Structures are given as C-alpha cells and as structure tokens.
Amino acid sequence: MKKLLITGSLPDSIRQKLQSLGLDISHYGVNDLVEPDKFKAAIENSEIYVSGGYEEGKAEIIEAACNLKLIAFLGVDAGHFIDIKACTKKQIKVCNTPGANAISVAEFTFGLMLDAKRRVTLCANATMLKDQNPGYSYKTSQTLFGKTIGLIGFGRIAQHLAKMAINGFGAKVLYNTQSGPKLELEPAGAKYVSMDELVSQSDIISLHVPRHAGAMLAKEQFEKMKPGVTIVNTCAAENCDPVALLAHLKKDKEAYCAFDGFYEEVDEHNKSAIEELRKLFFSQFVVTPHVAWRTHESDLATLEMAVESISDAVAGKSPRNLLN
C-alpha cells in the first residue's frame, strides 16, 4: 500500500477518496511539521506528499524522502514552499491547483478594498480602543463606488475581481500584465493600459503577481500615484518595495495600505523601513495573516483538484497541472 503524507485540512470526503485509491494516509495539521526534523521524519518513507501546511520542502528534506514520487501542492505558488529543482533532480513530480481558490482571493481582496476606503478596521479600533485613537476623523472614509481600480496582473483572481468591481460597484478597471492585453478575457469596462497610466490614474492599486515577479511597486511607481491612493496586496508583501512604500506613506498621510501578509524577507537594506511600517498599522496600514485563499469552499476545491492528480499518478498516468 502506497504511503501518503498530507498536511493541513483533511475533510472526511477527501480522506475517503484517498483511501479508495488504496493509500495509507498520515495526516498532520497546518503547523505540525514546520520543524525540519519532524518534517524529515514524516516524509522519509512517503511516496505521495500533499502540501497544505506551512512546512518548507527544502533540498535536504527532499533528499531525505527516499520513496517520494509526487508532491501535490495545495495552491499555486509551490516554489515558495517546495524546492522544485531538487524535486526535478530526484525525478519527483510536482503539481499545483491553479484557479481553485481564485474566487476566495478575489472576494478577500475586495474586502480589503472596502476596509481601506471605509476604514472599517480603523473604525473598530477607534470604537473599542478610544484612548489609542484620539485623532480619528470620519472624514477619512471614502466611497468605493465609481472609483478607478488598477490591477497589476490579470490572471484568474484579477479577472474575478474586475467583474465584481464593474458589476457591483460601477468601478472603472484598468489592468496591466507583462504578457500584454487579454482582449478576449476583458469583462465589459476593463481596459489594458501601460504601467505608468495605471499607477497615475488609479484610486486603488491591487497587486496580482507571483512572488518571483519582485517589487512591482517601487520608487518610480510611487512618484506617479494620485494623492490618497490605496494599495491592496494579497500577493507577497515583497511585491511592494518597503522602503519606497514607507517614504510614500510618510509623504501622503491620506494614502492607505491593505495587505494580506506582511514582509518576510528582511535584510539590512529594508529592516528599518519594515519596522517603521509596523508603526503605521491601523492609521495607514491594515494587515491580515495571508488567509485570502482560505475558505471552506476553497480548501475543498484545492483538495479535490489534488485528488485528481494523485488518482492519475496511482493509475500510472501523468498527473495534471505539473510544474516540472
């Protein structure tokens, strides 16, 4: 019987499907295997690994996995958690689940836009912690309806978001992507523009790019933004340069940020700026713990997609959504 290691959630319906494939299942929670030694021991004899936790499959972990043949990553950005080069070297297949959580992320992104424009978190803190928020003014709240929203990247998430913005809030949507205009994908009202046009015309700028794209918003882009611009980021915080962001927020007191996940890659160049950004929490910055993708529905959808790939592998077929 093939051994399968899975981390994260495991609903009964998914467990039953995996068992029907003749798999011997070892299940751990989201944070159970973040310690490398524990992860190494758990994965050592597994043939299939479903990555739904916060553990990192670095090269030494992959090397220790003697029997591993397939990794099914629950999400898109597998490269941040799994050393894909090390997997390729050992002939371990890696697949992901593209699009399974796109609606969940789009909804959460829109929630952050509303929070930023209507200052929902700030209002809550001003209500419950009045002594810490003596200078709060209702004048800082703005209507979202009819605003211009700029989307950097136009994949599945951004496309869902564009439809929500146009159909639900009468927004004007601009987008830019490195692959050029996607006319066949544009919902009515969305328009492809240059990066310069997007950052200079948008009331709200939302990032929808992979982590490895680097800092899409840096000093050059911030210098062209409208006063009082709102920056929303449900990607990696690193896709927005922290030094340039801090300078912009200090210069424009009406500017506001809403991030799902804070900076992880801290070095001598950006350490001071990141610490200063923490001091702006609530007054100009709201942050959530990178949970935009997680709902009961998206968990089930990603697991269902992973089961399809695993079923292919067990049947001797090439798994779907391969990354190597």
Element (H, E) at 221: helix 219-222
Q: Identify whether the C-beta of residue 160 lies closer than 8 Å to the C-beta of residue 103.
A: yes
pLDDT recorded at residue 216: 97
Q: What's residue 138's pLDDT?
A: 59
> By the 8 A CB rule, do 48 and 26 touch?
no
Could you give the C-alpha distances from 176 to 137, 151, 197, 200, 264, in angstroms and in order?
34, 6, 9, 13, 26
CA proximity to 11, closest of 33, 27, 23, 34: 27
Nearest Cα to Cα of residue 116 among 284, 279, 288, 293: 284
- Among 116, 127, 52, 168, residue whose Cα is nearest residue 288: 116
DSSP readout, 135-187? T--GGG----TT-EEEEE--SHHHHHHHHHHHHHH--EEEEE-TT---GGGPP
Residue 17, pLDDT score? 97
CB 95 within 8 A of CB 82: no
Q: Compute the distance between CA of residue 202 and CA of residue 234 in angstroms, rounded to an integer.
A: 17
Q: Are 117 and 143 in contact (CB under 8 A)?
A: yes
* pLDDT per residue as tens, the chain (324 positions): 799 999 999 999 999 999 999 999 999 999 999 999 999 999 999 999 999 999 999 999 999 999 999 999 999 989 989 999 999 999 999 999 999 999 999 999 999 999 999 989 888 888 887 776 656 665 568 999 999 999 999 999 999 999 999 999 999 999 999 999 998 888 888 999 999 999 999 999 999 999 999 999 999 999 999 999 999 999 999 999 999 999 999 999 999 999 999 999 999 999 999 999 999 998 899 999 999 998 999 999 999 999 999 999 999 999 999 999
pLDDT at 282: 85
Return the pLDDT at 188. Answer: 82
List all residues 6 or more positions away from 23 whose beta carbon is below 8 Å from its beta carbon: 1, 2, 3, 4, 48, 310, 314
Q: Which residue ranges form the domains of the chain, and what is each CATH number?
A: 2-100+295-314 (3.40.50.720), 102-288 (3.40.50.720)
Instruction: Give me the residue label for tokens 């639900």.
Output: 168
pTM (global) more than 0.85: yes
Q: How many CB atoms lie within 10 A of CB 65?
A: 24
Q: Classify strands 93-95 and 70-73 as parallel, antiparallel or unpaired.
A: parallel
CB 20 within 8 A of CB 64: no
- pLDDT given at position 136: 65
- E strand or H helix at 23: strand 23-28
